[in-house]
Structure 1
Amino acid sequence: MSIATVENMASLSSDLFYDILRRLDGATLASAACACAAFSSISKEERLWENVCSSMWPSTSRDDVKSLISSIGGFKKFYADCFPLIVNKEVPEFRFNDYLQYLEELTEAEYYGDVDELENISPSDFVSIVDIRYKDQTICSKVLWGIPNANSFNGWFYNCPFRIDLLNNSARDDDHGGEVTLSVSDGLPPITLMGRERKDGKLWQDLHGGIRLSWIVVNRKIKQAANLSSWSSLGGQRHWPTDEDFLIRFGSVLPAKDILPCQVVECILIMRFRVTHTEGVGVQTTLKLTELSMQLGDMEGAHVNGRNSLLVLKEALSCSRSKNYSEALESCLLYSKVQSELKEEKMRNESRLDRLFILGGIAACMTFCYYFL
C-alpha cells in the first residue's frame, strides 16, 4: 500500500484542517492556533469554540444561552473568560485589632459601598450557568436568569444575607426533570449499611474526589463572565446534619477592595447529597442532590448582604485568573489559613476579657467584704 506524501501544509484543504481542529479540546485548540497561519485562521471559527464550550459546559448548548454568549462577545471569548479560575493571592494578613479599628473608622456609607455605583447594577443583569460532573459524566446542567427574590431590591434583598438556592429557583431543566440523582450504575460504590460507611468512608471519598462543579456568572450589561467555582472540591462534611447527608464545598476568593473592610470575601458554593436508598434486593445505592447554593462570606464568617454582594460579583468578573487550577486551590487555602488565624485571635481576646471580668468581680467582692463586713 502506497502512502501519499504531503510536501507542505498549504496543499491540504481547509476542510481537513477544520476536521482536525474540531476534535480538540479548548486548551489544545488554543495551542494549535499558534502552530501555523492556516490553523490560526480556522481556529477563529465560532463553531469550533461553540463545540468546545458545549463539551465542557453542556448548559451552553441551550438556545437561550447561545444567544446570551453571542451577545457578550462569542464562544471564543466566553471560553477565554470562564476556563481559567479566579486566583486571588492578595489575601490580607491583617491583625484582629487592626481590623476592629478599621471598622470603627468607617462611616456607614463607606462600609456599605458606593451607592452611586450600586445604582448601575441590577440583579436581573446576572445569569448563572451551572454544570456538575461526576467522573467525567454530566449529571446536572442548570441556568438561572437573574437573582431570585431580588424584586424588592432596595428593601429586603438590599440588606439581608445574599444567597442563591439554585435547585429551588433555576429555570427549566429539560434533561433531568428537576431531580438529580446518582446511583451505582453511575459509578457510585454500593452501600449496604450506613454504619459501615461511617467507618470506612468509601462513598464520601468517591464523592469528594469525583464531583466537579462549574458555576459561571455572566453580567449581561457589562458583557463579562467568570467561573466562581474551584472546579474540584475544597472540602466538606459527611453525615451532617443527618447520617444520610454529604456536604461538599466549592468556591473561590473574590476581591472586595473598597467594598468591605476585609478586602476579600469567600464565594461559598455548597452541594449536598442525601442517601435515599442503600443496597438491597432489587435496589441500588442512590443519592439525591438536595442543595446547590451560593453565598458570600467575609473573614469573620458573616454572610455578605445583597447590596455588597452585587458589587463584589461585578468586581469578580474582571479580576485575575489562571489556567493552573492548583493556583486557585492555593488561593482558597491561603484564605482559610488567614481566616483561622483571625478566629483564633478573636477567641484569645475574648478569653482575656473573660479572665479580666472574673478578676474584676473577685476584686469587687473582696473589697465589699473588707469594708462592709
Structure 2
Amino acid sequence: MDSDSSATTGGGVGTAISAVHVDIIQTHILTRLDGPTLASACCASSQLHILSQDENLWRDVCNQTWPSTSDPLLRHLISTFPAGHRSFFSDSFSTLHHRHRSQTKRQLPPPPPPSELISAIDIHYQDHIILSRIHRTETVTGWFLCSPFRLDLLEPKETVPTPIKLDGANLEDNLTLSWVMIDPTQNRAANFSSRRPVSVNRHWLTGDIEVRYSVVLAGGRKGELVVCEAVVTCCGNSKEGGELQVKDVSFLMEDMEGKNLRGQQSLVILQEAVRSGERRKGKRGEERERRGEFLRMKRERRERNLRRERTMDMACIAAGVVIFLAWVFVLLRR
C-alpha cells in the first residue's frame, strides 16, 4: 500500500503521512530517528524523501553516532562531501568488507595522494563515550612514506579514565570502537574498524588488557590480503572496585608475511578502500571469522616458506657434499 494513501487499521481509519503537517514531521518525528531508520524513511514516500535529506538532521545523527564529528575541522571537511553529513554517514556507518580485486568492475586510475589523512576515533562502553578524538597524519614526508605505518592516538604516559570497573567488565560485548578515516582529496570516508572486538587478551606479565578490532582488505598485489588493526590497551589497579584506564590506542596494517606495511604502501590501500571498498553491516562475529581466515592463510604461508627454506638448505648441503667428494677424488687421483 502506498504510504501516501489512507490505511484502515483495527477497524479505524488511519491517517496518511501526507496529512501530517510538515513542521510536525520535521520537528517531532524525523528528529527522533537514528541513522538507519532515517535512511529508510527516505525511501518511504516522495515527501519523506525530500524532508529526510535535511542537512541538520544528518548532522545531528552524525554527532550522536560519532561525537568526534562535532570538531570544527571535521565539520568543515564533511561539508565538502557530495551530500554533506548524509554522505559521511553512508560512507562510515558500515564497516568495510573485503573484496578481491578480480571482483572489481573496472580499475579506475588512482586518486592523487592527500597531504594528510584525518582520522575520527570514537570509543564507547555501552552507551557512554569513553574517548573521542581527531587525529591528523601527514603523508608527504619521507619519514611517513618509508617508515612502518602506525598511528598512535595517545601521548606516552597519557591515560584516559573510564567508568568501567575492572571486576566484571565485559569488554568483548560492550566496548565498541569506530576508526573513520577521511581522504580530503576524494571527499570520502571509510570505517577501518570492526565495531566489536575480534579478540580480548590479558598480558600475562603486566596485566594490561589488549582489545583488538580488525578489518581485512585486499592488498597491493592480486590475491594478497592485509589486515587493518586498531588496538586499545587498558590498565587498572587490582584492588576491589578499581576502574580501567585506556593507556594506548593505535592503528597499524600488516601483510600476510607478518610485516607492518610502510606508509607509502598503506596509503595506496587506504585510498583504494575509501574510494571503491564495499561497505556493509555484516552479521555479528563476521569480522572475527575473516580475521581467523587471514591468520590461517598467514600461518600456511609461513609453513610453506619454512619448507622451501629447508629444501634449499638440503640442496645446498647436498651440493657442498658433492663438491667436497669431487675435490677429495681429484686429490686421490694425483
**Under TM normalisation by the shorter chain, which class is it?**
0.7 to 0.9
Match of 2:16 in 1: 8
Is the 2:95–2:280 contact (alpha carbons within 8 Å) kept by the matching residues of 1? yes
Shift of 1:359: 6.6
Shift of 1:347: 2.8
Q: Does 1:265 align with 2:226?
A: yes
Shift of 1:317: 0.2
**Bigger strand fraction:** 2
- Aligned ranges for residues 131-210 of structure 1 at < 5 Å? 131-147=122-138, 153=141, 155-168=142-155, 179-183=159-163, 186=164, 188-190=165-167, 203=169, 206-210=170-174
Distance in 2 between residues matched to 1:117 and 1:41, nearest whole Å: 34
RMSD between aligned residues = 3.1
Q: Does 1:213 align with 2:177?
A: yes
Code of the aligned partner of 1:321: R
1:248–1:356 distance in 2 versus 1, CA, 3 Å: farther
Distance in 1 between residues matched to 2:325 and 2:209, nearest whole Å: 54
1:86 pairs with one of 75, 89, 96:
96
Match of 2:209 in 1: 246
Deviates more, 1:349-358 or 1:247-256: 349-358
Distance in 1 between residues matched to 2:270 and 2:16, nearest whole Å: 49
Matched residue SS, 2:32: coil
Shift of 1:17: 1.3
Distance in 2 between residues matched to 1:269 and 1:260, nearest whole Å: 23
1:261–1:11 distance in 2 versus 1, CA, 3 Å: closer
Match of 1:62 in 2: 71
Is the 1:59–1:143 contact (alpha carbons within 8 Å) kept by the matching residues of 2? yes
Distance in 2 between residues matched to 1:227 and 1:325, nearest whole Å: 16
Match of 1:195 in 2: none
Is the 2:198–2:287 contact (alpha carbons within 8 Å) kept by the matching residues of 1? no
Match of 1:317 in 2: 274
1:157–1:11 distance in 2 versus 1, CA, 3 Å: closer
Distance in 1 between residues matched to 2:15 and 2:182, nearest whole Å: 46
Match of 2:239 in 1: 279
Distance in 2 between residues matched to 1:160 and 1:71, nearest whole Å: 31
Deviates more, 1:261-270 or 1:298-307: 261-270
Percent same amino acid among aligned pairs? 29
Shift of 1:142: 0.6
Code of the aligned partner of 1:233: P
Distance in 2 between residues matched to 1:91 and 1:299, nearest whole Å: 16
1:34–1:343 distance in 2 versus 1, CA, 3 Å: same
Distance in 2 between residues matched to 1:91 and 1:249, nearest whole Å: 26
**Bigger helix fraction:** 1
Q: Does 1:121 align with 2:113?
A: yes
Matched residue SS, 2:154: helix
Code of the aligned partner of 1:245: D
1:304 pairs with one of 249, 261, 265:
261
Matched residue SS, 1:270: strand
Distance in 1 between residues matched to 2:329 and 2:245, nearest whole Å: 68
**Alignment length (residue pairs):** 310
1:35 pairs with one of 11, 19, 44:
44
1:254–1:247 distance in 2 versus 1, CA, 3 Å: same
Distance in 2 between residues matched to 1:91 and 1:181, nearest whole Å: 42
Is the 1:89–1:331 contact (alpha carbons within 8 Å) kept by the matching residues of 2? no
Distance in 2 between residues matched to 1:269 and 1:22, nearest whole Å: 32
Shift of 1:33: 2.2
Q: Does 1:349 align with 2:308?
A: yes
Shift of 1:271: 1.3
Matched residue SS, 1:72: coil
Shift of 1:340: 2.2
Query: 1:18-38 CA deviation, whole Å, 9 max, x = no partner?
Result: 211211111111122222233
Is the 1:270–1:293 contact (alpha carbons within 8 Å) kept by the matching residues of 2? yes
Shift of 1:289: 1.4
Code of the aligned partner of 2:125: Y
TM-score, normalised via structure 2 length: 0.81
Code of the aligned partner of 1:69: I
Distance in 2 between residues matched to 1:365 and 1:286, nearest whole Å: 68
Matched residue SS, 1:222: coil
Query: 1:115-137 CA deviation, whole Å, 9 max, x = no partner?
Result: x968x31342x100000111232
TM-score, normalised via structure 1 length: 0.73
Is the 1:87–1:331 contact (alpha carbons within 8 Å) kept by the matching residues of 2? no
Shift of 1:292: 1.0
Distance in 2 between residues matched to 1:20 and 1:329, nearest whole Å: 37
Code of the aligned partner of 2:120: I
1:143–1:88 distance in 2 versus 1, CA, 3 Å: same
Distance in 2 between residues matched to 1:86 and 1:76, nearest whole Å: 18
1:181–1:355 distance in 2 versus 1, CA, 3 Å: farther
